[in-house]
Amino acid sequence: MTRATKTIQELADFLGCKLEGDGAALVSGVASPAAARAEDLIYVESPRHLEQAAASAASCAVIPPGLSLPGKILLRAANPKLAFARAAEWLVPASPIAQGIHPTALIASSAKLGPGVAVGPYAVIEEDVQIGAGCEVGAFCFLGRGARLGERCRLYPRVTLYAGARLANRVILHSGVVIGSDGFGYVSEAGKRRKFPQVGEVTIQDDVEIGANTTIDRGSLDRTDIGAGVKLDNLVHVAHNVSIGENTVIAAQTGISGSSSVGKNVVIGGQVGIADHCEIEDGAIVGAQAGIPTGKTVRSGQMVWGTPARPLEKFKKQFAWFSRLPELAERVKALESRILLKAE
Protein backbone atom coordinates (compact mmCIF):
# COMPACT_ATOMS: atom_id res chain seq x y z
CA MET A 1 0.00 0.00 0.00
CA THR A 2 1.39 3.40 -1.02
CA ARG A 3 1.93 5.88 1.79
CA ALA A 4 2.79 9.58 1.68
CA THR A 5 4.93 11.07 4.45
CA LYS A 6 3.96 14.60 5.51
CA THR A 7 4.65 16.88 8.43
CA ILE A 8 1.78 17.32 10.83
CA GLN A 9 1.81 21.04 9.99
CA GLU A 10 1.24 20.15 6.32
CA LEU A 11 -1.59 17.85 7.35
CA ALA A 12 -3.14 20.55 9.55
CA ASP A 13 -3.03 23.00 6.64
CA PHE A 14 -4.56 20.45 4.28
CA LEU A 15 -7.41 19.68 6.68
CA GLY A 16 -7.90 23.24 7.91
CA CYS A 17 -7.46 22.06 11.52
CA LYS A 18 -5.99 23.94 14.46
CA LEU A 19 -2.66 22.37 15.42
CA GLU A 20 -1.60 21.88 19.04
CA GLY A 21 1.94 20.52 19.36
CA ASP A 22 4.97 19.83 17.20
CA GLY A 23 4.11 20.59 13.58
CA ALA A 24 7.48 19.28 12.39
CA ALA A 25 6.70 15.71 13.45
CA LEU A 26 5.97 13.28 10.62
CA VAL A 27 2.79 11.39 9.79
CA SER A 28 2.56 8.73 7.09
CA GLY A 29 -0.58 6.66 7.64
CA VAL A 30 -3.84 6.13 9.49
CA ALA A 31 -4.88 3.38 11.88
CA SER A 32 -7.05 2.43 14.81
CA PRO A 33 -5.59 3.36 18.21
CA ALA A 34 -4.78 -0.28 19.01
CA ALA A 35 -2.91 -0.94 15.74
CA ALA A 36 -1.27 2.47 15.26
CA ARG A 37 2.45 3.11 14.89
CA ALA A 38 4.08 6.36 16.03
CA GLU A 39 3.66 7.91 12.55
CA ASP A 40 0.01 6.89 12.15
CA LEU A 41 -2.88 9.29 12.65
CA ILE A 42 -5.80 8.30 14.90
CA TYR A 43 -9.05 10.09 15.75
CA VAL A 44 -11.21 10.57 18.84
CA GLU A 45 -14.95 11.30 18.57
CA SER A 46 -16.08 11.27 22.20
CA PRO A 47 -14.76 11.04 25.78
CA ARG A 48 -15.27 7.26 25.84
CA HIS A 49 -12.47 6.90 23.25
CA LEU A 50 -9.92 8.91 25.22
CA GLU A 51 -8.47 6.08 27.28
CA GLN A 52 -7.74 3.89 24.26
CA ALA A 53 -6.28 6.85 22.36
CA ALA A 54 -4.04 7.80 25.28
CA ALA A 55 -2.61 4.26 25.33
CA SER A 56 -1.96 4.26 21.56
CA ALA A 57 1.52 4.44 20.07
CA ALA A 58 0.28 7.13 17.66
CA SER A 59 1.81 10.54 18.27
CA CYS A 60 -1.01 12.53 16.62
CA ALA A 61 -4.79 12.47 16.97
CA VAL A 62 -7.71 14.32 15.41
CA ILE A 63 -9.93 15.40 18.29
CA PRO A 64 -13.00 17.61 18.78
CA PRO A 65 -12.91 20.89 20.73
CA GLY A 66 -13.25 20.53 24.48
CA LEU A 67 -11.42 17.22 24.87
CA SER A 68 -7.83 16.84 26.02
CA LEU A 69 -5.25 14.15 25.31
CA PRO A 70 -2.00 14.83 27.15
CA GLY A 71 1.18 13.69 25.45
CA LYS A 72 -0.28 13.72 21.91
CA ILE A 73 -0.05 16.20 19.07
CA LEU A 74 -3.62 17.33 18.41
CA LEU A 75 -5.53 18.41 15.35
CA ARG A 76 -8.78 20.10 16.39
CA ALA A 77 -11.76 19.37 14.14
CA ALA A 78 -15.50 19.84 14.59
CA ASN A 79 -16.02 16.51 12.83
CA PRO A 80 -12.98 14.32 13.62
CA LYS A 81 -14.23 11.32 11.64
CA LEU A 82 -14.62 13.39 8.48
CA ALA A 83 -11.19 15.01 8.94
CA PHE A 84 -9.68 11.56 9.50
CA ALA A 85 -11.28 10.25 6.30
CA ARG A 86 -9.89 13.19 4.31
CA ALA A 87 -6.47 12.62 5.84
CA ALA A 88 -6.61 8.94 4.88
CA GLU A 89 -7.30 9.81 1.22
CA TRP A 90 -4.28 12.10 1.23
CA LEU A 91 -1.84 9.97 3.20
CA VAL A 92 -2.82 6.53 1.90
CA PRO A 93 -4.01 6.92 -1.69
CA ALA A 94 -5.65 3.93 -3.33
CA SER A 95 -3.23 1.48 -4.95
CA PRO A 96 -3.37 1.44 -8.76
CA ILE A 97 -5.68 -1.14 -10.32
CA ALA A 98 -3.76 -1.18 -13.58
CA GLN A 99 -0.75 0.60 -15.05
CA GLY A 100 -0.30 1.21 -18.75
CA ILE A 101 -1.96 -1.00 -21.36
CA HIS A 102 -1.20 -4.66 -20.69
CA PRO A 103 -0.17 -6.57 -23.84
CA THR A 104 -2.83 -9.23 -23.23
CA ALA A 105 -5.70 -6.71 -23.21
CA LEU A 106 -8.01 -6.98 -26.24
CA ILE A 107 -8.99 -3.48 -27.37
CA ALA A 108 -11.08 -2.87 -30.50
CA SER A 109 -9.59 -0.49 -33.03
CA SER A 110 -12.66 1.77 -32.82
CA ALA A 111 -12.41 2.15 -29.03
CA LYS A 112 -11.23 5.56 -27.83
CA LEU A 113 -9.03 5.75 -24.72
CA GLY A 114 -8.30 9.11 -23.13
CA PRO A 115 -4.95 10.27 -21.76
CA GLY A 116 -3.55 8.20 -18.91
CA VAL A 117 -6.00 5.30 -19.25
CA ALA A 118 -4.67 2.03 -17.80
CA VAL A 119 -5.94 -1.42 -18.82
CA GLY A 120 -5.04 -4.62 -16.98
CA PRO A 121 -4.36 -8.16 -18.19
CA TYR A 122 -6.96 -9.92 -20.34
CA ALA A 123 -9.44 -7.05 -20.24
CA VAL A 124 -11.77 -6.89 -23.25
CA ILE A 125 -12.85 -3.52 -24.67
CA GLU A 126 -15.27 -3.84 -27.58
CA GLU A 127 -16.10 -1.60 -30.53
CA ASP A 128 -16.98 2.09 -30.03
CA VAL A 129 -16.21 2.10 -26.30
CA GLN A 130 -15.09 5.49 -24.99
CA ILE A 131 -12.98 5.75 -21.84
CA GLY A 132 -12.19 9.11 -20.27
CA ALA A 133 -8.86 10.38 -19.02
CA GLY A 134 -7.24 8.71 -16.04
CA CYS A 135 -9.55 5.67 -15.87
CA GLU A 136 -8.25 2.34 -14.61
CA VAL A 137 -9.70 -0.92 -15.97
CA GLY A 138 -8.66 -4.00 -14.02
CA ALA A 139 -7.76 -7.49 -15.15
CA PHE A 140 -10.48 -9.55 -16.89
CA CYS A 141 -12.92 -6.63 -17.12
CA PHE A 142 -15.37 -6.64 -20.03
CA LEU A 143 -16.60 -3.38 -21.58
CA GLY A 144 -19.32 -4.05 -24.11
CA ARG A 145 -19.90 -2.33 -27.42
CA GLY A 146 -20.61 1.41 -27.09
CA ALA A 147 -20.03 1.64 -23.33
CA ARG A 148 -19.02 5.09 -22.07
CA LEU A 149 -16.81 6.00 -19.10
CA GLY A 150 -16.14 9.52 -17.88
CA GLU A 151 -12.88 10.57 -16.29
CA ARG A 152 -10.98 8.85 -13.45
CA CYS A 153 -13.26 5.83 -13.09
CA ARG A 154 -11.85 2.78 -11.30
CA LEU A 155 -13.01 -0.68 -12.39
CA TYR A 156 -11.62 -3.46 -10.23
CA PRO A 157 -10.96 -6.90 -11.77
CA ARG A 158 -13.82 -8.81 -13.41
CA VAL A 159 -16.27 -5.94 -13.76
CA THR A 160 -18.74 -6.36 -16.64
CA LEU A 161 -20.34 -3.48 -18.52
CA TYR A 162 -22.97 -4.62 -21.00
CA ALA A 163 -23.26 -2.83 -24.32
CA GLY A 164 -24.18 0.83 -24.02
CA ALA A 165 -23.67 1.21 -20.28
CA ARG A 166 -22.93 4.79 -19.23
CA LEU A 167 -20.64 5.80 -16.38
CA ALA A 168 -19.97 9.45 -15.51
CA ASN A 169 -16.85 10.66 -13.66
CA ARG A 170 -15.00 9.12 -10.71
CA VAL A 171 -17.21 6.02 -10.56
CA ILE A 172 -15.78 3.09 -8.58
CA LEU A 173 -16.94 -0.44 -9.42
CA HIS A 174 -15.66 -3.30 -7.28
CA SER A 175 -14.99 -6.84 -8.45
CA GLY A 176 -17.90 -8.77 -9.87
CA VAL A 177 -20.14 -5.76 -10.54
CA VAL A 178 -22.43 -6.19 -13.55
CA ILE A 179 -23.93 -3.08 -15.14
CA GLY A 180 -26.61 -3.29 -17.82
CA SER A 181 -27.79 -6.89 -17.64
CA ASP A 182 -31.35 -7.63 -18.79
CA GLY A 183 -34.18 -6.92 -16.39
CA PHE A 184 -36.49 -9.66 -15.15
CA GLY A 185 -39.47 -9.05 -17.41
CA TYR A 186 -41.71 -11.66 -19.06
CA VAL A 187 -45.19 -11.87 -20.62
CA SER A 188 -47.44 -14.93 -20.34
CA GLU A 189 -48.37 -16.73 -23.54
CA ALA A 190 -50.26 -20.02 -23.51
CA GLY A 191 -48.83 -20.97 -20.13
CA LYS A 192 -45.29 -20.04 -21.07
CA ARG A 193 -43.12 -16.98 -20.42
CA ARG A 194 -42.09 -14.78 -23.33
CA LYS A 195 -39.30 -12.27 -22.70
CA PHE A 196 -40.40 -8.63 -22.61
CA PRO A 197 -37.96 -6.27 -24.35
CA GLN A 198 -34.99 -5.17 -22.23
CA VAL A 199 -33.56 -2.55 -24.55
CA GLY A 200 -33.36 0.56 -22.35
CA GLU A 201 -30.34 2.33 -20.91
CA VAL A 202 -28.42 2.32 -17.64
CA THR A 203 -26.58 5.39 -16.38
CA ILE A 204 -24.31 5.81 -13.38
CA GLN A 205 -23.70 9.44 -12.37
CA ASP A 206 -20.63 11.12 -10.81
CA ASP A 207 -18.89 9.82 -7.67
CA VAL A 208 -20.91 6.62 -7.34
CA GLU A 209 -19.29 3.63 -5.61
CA ILE A 210 -20.72 0.15 -6.14
CA GLY A 211 -19.70 -2.84 -4.02
CA ALA A 212 -18.56 -6.28 -5.08
CA ASN A 213 -21.04 -8.57 -6.89
CA THR A 214 -23.73 -5.91 -7.11
CA THR A 215 -25.90 -6.00 -10.25
CA ILE A 216 -27.76 -3.17 -11.95
CA ASP A 217 -30.15 -4.00 -14.79
CA ARG A 218 -30.69 -1.80 -17.82
CA GLY A 219 -34.11 -0.24 -18.34
CA SER A 220 -36.77 -2.24 -20.07
CA LEU A 221 -37.86 0.48 -22.49
CA ASP A 222 -36.71 3.45 -20.43
CA ARG A 223 -33.67 3.95 -18.21
CA THR A 224 -32.20 2.74 -14.94
CA ASP A 225 -30.45 5.68 -13.28
CA ILE A 226 -28.10 5.83 -10.29
CA GLY A 227 -27.71 9.42 -9.05
CA ALA A 228 -24.52 11.26 -8.15
CA GLY A 229 -22.83 10.27 -4.90
CA VAL A 230 -24.85 7.08 -4.39
CA LYS A 231 -23.06 4.34 -2.44
CA LEU A 232 -24.19 0.73 -2.91
CA ASP A 233 -22.82 -2.07 -0.73
CA ASN A 234 -21.89 -5.58 -1.85
CA LEU A 235 -24.57 -7.92 -3.22
CA VAL A 236 -27.22 -5.28 -3.94
CA HIS A 237 -29.59 -5.83 -6.86
CA VAL A 238 -31.18 -2.92 -8.73
CA ALA A 239 -33.82 -3.97 -11.26
CA HIS A 240 -34.91 -2.39 -14.55
CA ASN A 241 -36.27 1.18 -14.66
CA VAL A 242 -35.27 1.92 -11.06
CA SER A 243 -34.05 5.40 -10.19
CA ILE A 244 -31.95 6.17 -7.11
CA GLY A 245 -31.45 9.79 -6.07
CA GLU A 246 -28.27 11.60 -5.10
CA ASN A 247 -26.25 10.60 -2.02
CA THR A 248 -28.44 7.65 -1.09
CA VAL A 249 -26.72 4.75 0.69
CA ILE A 250 -27.90 1.12 0.46
CA ALA A 251 -26.47 -1.73 2.55
CA ALA A 252 -25.71 -5.29 1.48
CA GLN A 253 -28.19 -7.85 0.13
CA THR A 254 -30.92 -5.32 -0.58
CA GLY A 255 -33.08 -5.90 -3.64
CA ILE A 256 -35.04 -3.20 -5.46
CA SER A 257 -37.68 -4.43 -7.90
CA GLY A 258 -38.57 -2.92 -11.25
CA SER A 259 -39.86 0.63 -11.72
CA SER A 260 -39.35 1.64 -8.09
CA SER A 261 -38.04 5.07 -7.23
CA VAL A 262 -35.66 5.88 -4.37
CA GLY A 263 -35.15 9.55 -3.55
CA LYS A 264 -32.17 11.62 -2.47
CA ASN A 265 -30.31 11.09 0.82
CA VAL A 266 -32.20 7.89 1.61
CA VAL A 267 -30.68 5.32 3.98
CA ILE A 268 -31.59 1.66 3.35
CA GLY A 269 -30.35 -1.08 5.68
CA GLY A 270 -29.18 -4.55 4.80
CA GLN A 271 -31.44 -7.28 3.38
CA VAL A 272 -34.29 -4.89 2.60
CA GLY A 273 -36.75 -6.07 -0.03
CA ILE A 274 -38.48 -3.40 -2.12
CA ALA A 275 -41.23 -4.63 -4.42
CA ASP A 276 -42.10 -3.14 -7.80
CA HIS A 277 -43.49 0.37 -8.35
CA CYS A 278 -42.63 1.59 -4.84
CA GLU A 279 -41.54 5.11 -3.99
CA ILE A 280 -39.09 5.88 -1.21
CA GLU A 281 -39.09 9.65 -0.86
CA ASP A 282 -36.15 11.93 -0.03
CA GLY A 283 -34.51 11.46 3.35
CA ALA A 284 -36.43 8.32 4.33
CA ILE A 285 -34.79 5.59 6.41
CA VAL A 286 -35.62 1.92 5.83
CA GLY A 287 -34.46 -0.44 8.59
CA ALA A 288 -32.65 -3.70 7.97
CA GLN A 289 -34.72 -6.64 6.66
CA ALA A 290 -37.76 -4.43 6.06
CA GLY A 291 -40.18 -5.42 3.32
CA ILE A 292 -41.86 -2.77 1.16
CA PRO A 293 -44.98 -4.14 -0.59
CA THR A 294 -45.83 -3.39 -4.21
CA GLY A 295 -46.83 0.21 -4.86
CA LYS A 296 -46.16 1.46 -1.33
CA THR A 297 -44.84 4.97 -0.68
CA VAL A 298 -42.49 5.73 2.19
CA ARG A 299 -42.82 9.43 2.89
CA SER A 300 -39.99 11.94 3.07
CA GLY A 301 -38.09 11.78 6.35
CA GLN A 302 -40.06 8.75 7.57
CA MET A 303 -38.32 5.85 9.32
CA VAL A 304 -39.87 2.43 8.67
CA TRP A 305 -39.13 -1.09 9.85
CA GLY A 306 -40.54 -4.60 9.62
CA THR A 307 -42.48 -6.59 7.03
CA PRO A 308 -44.68 -5.12 5.77
CA ALA A 309 -42.77 -1.93 6.55
CA ARG A 310 -44.45 0.52 8.90
CA PRO A 311 -43.41 3.57 10.93
CA LEU A 312 -40.78 2.68 13.51
CA GLU A 313 -42.87 3.68 16.54
CA LYS A 314 -45.77 1.52 15.36
CA PHE A 315 -43.38 -1.38 14.64
CA LYS A 316 -41.88 -1.14 18.15
CA LYS A 317 -45.30 -1.22 19.82
CA GLN A 318 -46.45 -4.17 17.70
CA PHE A 319 -43.20 -6.02 18.26
CA ALA A 320 -43.51 -5.53 22.02
CA TRP A 321 -46.96 -7.17 21.93
CA PHE A 322 -45.68 -9.92 19.66
CA SER A 323 -42.95 -10.82 22.15
CA ARG A 324 -45.61 -11.15 24.86
CA LEU A 325 -47.76 -13.62 22.88
CA PRO A 326 -46.70 -16.71 24.91
CA GLU A 327 -47.63 -14.95 28.16
CA LEU A 328 -50.93 -13.71 26.70
CA ALA A 329 -51.74 -17.20 25.39
CA GLU A 330 -51.35 -18.62 28.91
CA ARG A 331 -53.65 -15.94 30.30
CA VAL A 332 -56.27 -16.69 27.63
CA LYS A 333 -56.09 -20.41 28.45
CA ALA A 334 -56.54 -19.66 32.15
CA LEU A 335 -59.56 -17.46 31.44
CA GLU A 336 -61.08 -20.13 29.19
CA SER A 337 -60.64 -22.73 31.94
CA ARG A 338 -62.38 -20.49 34.48
CA ILE A 339 -65.26 -19.84 32.08
CA LEU A 340 -65.68 -23.59 31.42
CA LEU A 341 -65.67 -24.34 35.15
CA LYS A 342 -68.39 -21.74 35.76
CA ALA A 343 -70.42 -23.11 32.86
CA GLU A 344 -70.35 -26.57 34.42
- State how far the Cα of 160 lies from the Cα of 162, in Å rounded to an integer: 6
Q: Which residues are catalytic?
A: 240
Q: What is the pLDDT of residues 48-64, one digit of tens each?
A: 999 999 999 999 999 99
Rounded-to-integer distance, Cα 63 and Cα 119, Å: 41
318 pLDDT more than 90: no
Instruction: Report the alpha-carbon distance of residue 91 to residue 32 in Å, rounded.
Output: 15
User: What digits encode the pLDDT tens for the residues 97-154?
Assistant: 999 999 999 999 999 999 999 999 999 999 999 999 999 999 999 999 999 999 999 9
pTM, whole model, 2 decimals? 0.90
Domain 6-91 annotated CATH 3.40.1390.10: yes
* Identity at 31, one-letter amino acid code: A
Confidence grade of residue 344 (pLDDT, cut at 50, 70, 90): low
The ranges of the chain annotated as CATH 2.160.10.10 are 106-314
**Region(s) of the chain under CATH 3.40.1390.10:** 6-91
Q: Which pLDDT belongs to residue 118? A: 98
DSSP assignments along 83-118, one per residue:
HHHHHHHHHSPPPPS--SB-TT-EE-TT-EE-TT-E
Query: What is the CATH code of the structural domain delimited by 106-314?
Result: 2.160.10.10
